[in-house]
């Protein structure tokens, strides 16, 4: 699978532009550094990017994961009316360390300026649909989203994207000092939801 040319799209929201999901590139380093200056983002992600050197390392890790098939990461950028790329709005990732396994994990973050505009659920929804379609023949049937129990915003994103709350994860200090939530979506349910949405659109 050639992910270097892969592009995913998410439709515009009521007050927000359409989104383009594309592989990260080395030229994203300055925007990544600027995005990681946000204290809220650093709280939930651990502050992995401090300067352009660490940004370059983070970007190399995304490229490595793409090459091995273990991690498919996408930069989420706003799409301008003329179709060109706008500003960086977020990040979504499919983590699939075991090829052929029925389950995988998804993750995301949203840039400070883009929060509250439906970026995360739209981008995550595009990733989920792509993952189930791209890896259906490889046996992928379930996706999981994990977050800290006190991250209520992630709970809302999970619900909006069709992930059901399926379990409470115990704390595991020092890496995970607080309990976490496990949300799950299965391929069959996702397909049923999308078909129901299409029927509603036709009836309107």
Instruction: Going residue by residue through the chain, which has 204 residues, state the pLDDT in tens, using 9 for 90 and above.
Output: 566 678 999 999 888 899 999 999 999 999 999 999 999 999 888 768 999 999 999 999 999 999 999 999 999 999 999 989 999 999 999 999 888 899 999 999 999 999 999 999 999 999 999 999 999 999 999 999 999 999 999 999 999 999 999 999 998 887 778 899 999 999 988 887 777 666 665 665
To the nearest 5 percent, what fractions of the chain are helix, strand and coil?
40, 30, 35
Residue with tokens 């049923």: 192
User: What does pTM read for this prediction?
Assistant: 0.91
Residue pair 43/73 in contact (Cβ under 8 Å)? The answer is no
- 94: nearest Cα among 119, 126, 122, 121: 126
Terminal CA-to-CA distance of the chain, rounded, Å? Answer: 38
Alpha helices, H only, the chain: 29-35, 39-45, 52-68, 119-134, 152-160, 187-203
The CA distance from 110 to 118, in Å, is 10
Counting Cβ atoms within 10 Å, is residue 122 exposed (0-12), middle (13-18) or buried (19+)?
buried
């Amino acid at each position: 699978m050639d992910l270097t040319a892969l592009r995913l799209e998410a439709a515009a929201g009521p007050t927000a532009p359409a989104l383009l999901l594309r592989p990260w590139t080395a030229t994203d380093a300055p925007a990544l550094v600027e995005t990681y200056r946000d204290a809220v983002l650093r709280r939930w992600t651990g502050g992995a990017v401090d300067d352009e050197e660490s940004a370059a390392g983070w970007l190399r890790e995304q490229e490595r994961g793409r090459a091995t098939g273990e991690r498919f990461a996408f930069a989420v950028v706003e799409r301008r009316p003329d179709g060109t790329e706008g500003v960086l709005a977020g990040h979504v990732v499919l983590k699939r360390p075991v090829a052929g396994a029925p389950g995988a994990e998804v993750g995301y973050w949203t840039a400070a300026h883009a929060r509250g505009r439906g970026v995360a659920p739209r981008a995550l929804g595009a990733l989920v649909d792509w993952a189930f379609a791209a890896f259906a023949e490889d046996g992928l049937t379930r996706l999981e989203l994990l977050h800290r129990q006190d991250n209520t915003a992630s709970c809302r994103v999970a619900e909006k994207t069709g992930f059901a709350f399926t379990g409470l994860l115990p704390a595991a200090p020092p890496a995970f000092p607080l309990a976490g939530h496990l949300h799950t979506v299965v391929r069959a349910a996702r397909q049923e939801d999308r078909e129901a949405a299409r029927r509603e659109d036709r009836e309107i």
